[in-house]
Structure 1
Amino acid sequence: MAEKETLRERFFRCGKLDDCPVYDLHGHMGPLEGACLPRCNPEDMIAAMDRAGVRLTVFCHHDALFAPDIGNAINLAEVRRFPDRFRAYCGINPNYPDQVARDVEMFDDNRDAYVGFKFLADYFQIPITDERSAPAWEKANTDHLPVLLHTWGGSSYDGPQLVRTCAERYPDAQILMGHSCHGAWKEAAQLAVDFANVYLELTAVLDDRGAVDLFVREAGSEKVIFGTDTPWFNHHYYIGALLGAEMNDDDRRNILYRNAQRILGDMLEM
């Protein structure tokens, strides 16, 4: 009797697998000044997703990060154009606290499109613990929503200690550490161990050999989320790096889709 093929063997033979869908929980959309992003409109993003077997991308439009009054409307419009392929994070920019309050107030009216919130504290130079972001944190905590944070090792805005403070303060918010406190891999893994609501996310992690292996070994694959920062990085590269990492196929399935399905839950049906 022939041995059962591994996910790696099947992916390399077929390119994508219907029984192992991919959920990308860290995406963006739209052009950004000074960046070459040739596949940044939704149609081209969907074509790239189809080639790699990505079933759903959760994104925050670049404009929503820097001009949320404009960009969050684009988030909603694009999800409603392609509801089977996208969900969005509501972009939170604490430089505009009145806008934060309005976006949080309108969140429930847009549950068909939104799954949670996105913070980019290093760019705003406002810590994730700042009170101007509290309305979004409180909403996420009350409703058990995902919060995708940009996190970076050594940052005074979103480094490991600040993530720890937020995890303690908002124990029911589902904290996705975008970039997994980049470079501070052991500290990030320990956060995922210490807090049930904190997850490691793989954008810009898979270019560092051994980091995801450490995450699975220390925190378990149930605490690791697949993300690519699409359209910045390539799905195939990230999937391939995961297929070559030191873990078993059950771990890979957790990371590629099971954890996302569990976190998003009923929001996938809206």
Structure 2
Amino acid sequence: MNTTDSFHERFFRDGRLDDCPVFDLHGHMGPLQGAHLPRCTPEAMVAAMARAGVRLTVFCHHDTLMTPDVANHPNVETVRRYPDHFRAYCGINPNYPEQVRLDVDSFDQHRDVYVGFKMLADYHQIPITDPRNAPAWEKANAEGLLVLLHTWGGSRFDGPALVRECATDYPNAQILMGHSCHGQWQEAAGLAQEFPNVYCELTAVLDDRGAVEILVNEAGSEKVIFGTDTPWFNHHNYIGALLGAEITDDDRRNILYANARRLLAPFVPPELLECRNC
């Protein structure tokens, strides 16, 4: 563990740093059947963010992803109630292609809410390359929007080969590989290194010792995004794991805020991206 610098010491002493805000680009919200999520309301999540110095969370509500008749209404409602704390991904479920088209067609009505799209292919059991996802991909590609993918090693729905196909077909869509093709760390790092529009993301990565070092050493810290799957995982747990990794403070700053600020700049007011004393 790297314990020699004041960056590390200050984070562990105070739980947060004013000169290192945190941007969490992989969040969810709301209860989910069969899961105990004690801090899943917007109010509880805002309080948790404050304790860890998280400036902004970009999320997609569980109901949007799992209950198609609810659609994206919870995302819109939450961001408009708490615009200083949240932005959202427009959730896409290709099992309901008519709803996908409605969500894509109404995207521009919610420019104050959305930064891009979220796809959960392993759960929806439809590959990210399926034509039913095309309306979202095409809009993301045309406008440089973010696309947060659930990716997993060996998956026939969102594994590395399918990410490669999407990165090739939609070179202007900014693809965040949620979970970094979990377990296939070298493949994920290789994709992020090869494609300018592909990034690794750290949810469920930091529980595997050495994985973040592979991503940083092979792809560069400029291609790694911080995310926690909040409210599933704890911000301080993930920040602490990143502090303990064998990477530099400059790498940590890239991962915790600099990369996210760059990606979010076209979609988020500059005052939400400010970093005092950075």
Query: Which residue is equivalent to 1:261?
Result: 261
Query: Which residue is equivalent to 1:108?
Result: 108
Query: Which residue is equivalent to 1:200?
Result: 200
One-letter code aligned to 1:166: C
Query: Which residue is equivalent to 1:93?
Result: 93
Deviation at 1:6, TM superposition (A): 2.8
One-letter code aligned to 1:24: D
One-letter code aligned to 2:268: L
Distance 1:68 1:80 in 2: 21
Query: Which residue is equivalent to 1:215?
Result: 215
Matched-pair contact (CA < 8 Å) for 1:122–1:150: yes
One-letter code aligned to 1:259: N
Identity %: 73
Greater shift, 65-74 or 39-48, is seen at 65-74
Q: Which runs of 5+ in 2 are unaligned?
A: 271-278
How does 1:14-33 map onto structure 2 within 5 Å?
Answer: 14-33=14-33
Deviation at 1:10, TM superposition (A): 1.1
Computed over aligned residues only, the root mean square deviation of the Cα atoms, in angstroms, reads: 1.1
Q: Once the two structures are superposed, what CA deviation does each residue of 1:72-108 show, in whole Å capped at 9, x if it has no partner?
A: 1110000000000000000000001011011001101
Give the secondary structure class of the aligned counterpart of 1:70: coil
Distance 2:254 2:168 in 1: 25
Query: Which residue is equivalent to 1:125?
Result: 125
Greater shift, 12-21 or 157-166, is seen at 12-21
Distance 2:87 2:212 in 1: 25
Matched residue count = 267
Q: Once the two structures are superposed, what CA deviation does each residue of 1:209-246 show, in whole Å capped at 9, x if it has no partner?
A: 00001111000000000000000000000000000101
Q: Which runs of 5+ in 1 are unaligned?
A: none
Give the secondary structure class of the aligned counterpart of 1:268: coil
One-letter code aligned to 1:151: T
One-letter code aligned to 1:245: A
Query: Which residue is equivalent to 1:144?
Result: 144
Deviation at 1:266, TM superposition (A): 2.8
Q: Once the two structures are superposed, what CA deviation does each residue of 1:101-141 show, in whole Å capped at 9, x if it has no partner?
A: 11001101100001100000001110000000000000000
Deviation at 1:256, TM superposition (A): 0.1
Query: Which residue is equivalent to 2:276?
Result: none
Give the secondary structure class of the aligned counterpart of 1:230: coil
- In the superposition, the TM-score normalised over structure 1's length comes to 0.97
One-letter code aligned to 2:42: P
One-letter code aligned to 1:242: L
Deviation at 1:5, TM superposition (A): 4.6
Query: Which residue is equivalent to 1:47?
Result: 47
